Amino acid sequence: MSTFYKILVTLHIFSAILGMGPGFILTTVVKSGKNMTELRHSYRIRHKLHIFVMVGGTLLLITGVSMGIINPSLFRMGWYITSLVLFLAALAIGPLVLSPRSKPVKELLESHKSEEIPEEYWKLSRILFRFENLENVIFLIIIALMTLKPF
């Protein structure tokens, strides 16, 4: 294996840790808020963590596809193609599903004046978190495919 390819593999692994690691706790971080001040603070932390997710995810895609270009036999491996398709689907979930469902939550966080968390927040966040959990399951499947290479 060439040195450049080994570097790509190493970058790919670090990108997975950088991007997926924080992604798995994004939902957990905001569940800890007990009032609106804590909830707003939790969402600010979540936003900062999401930057790591975006950078790591971008590097993950770039390094993964680059490895496929260098080693075209990967494009004939079922685990590689399935992982790539699942990753692209997970990326699409962000702007198509998560973003529209997070906008009302953000608006509520900005406009609500009381310290008590309104019931509407719990309804909105429950739907948002359901899709985030689905995305986490997709990422767990990708991790399993990458490590086990079952087909």
Q: At which residue do the structure tokens 């075209």 appear?
A: 72
Distance CA 151, CA 9 (A): 20
pLDDT surpassing 90 at residue 1: no
Domain count, the chain: 1
Q: State which residues form the domain around 115.
A: 3-148
- pLDDT tens readout for residues 114-147: 999 999 999 999 999 999 999 999 999 999 999 9
Question: For position 32, what pLDDT does the model report?
Answer: 85
pLDDT surpassing 90 at residue 37: yes
Asked if 38 contacts 32 with a C-beta cutoff of 8 angstroms, the reply is yes
* Angle between helices 119-148 and 99-111 in degrees, nearest 10: 140
Query: Model-level pTM?
Result: 0.89
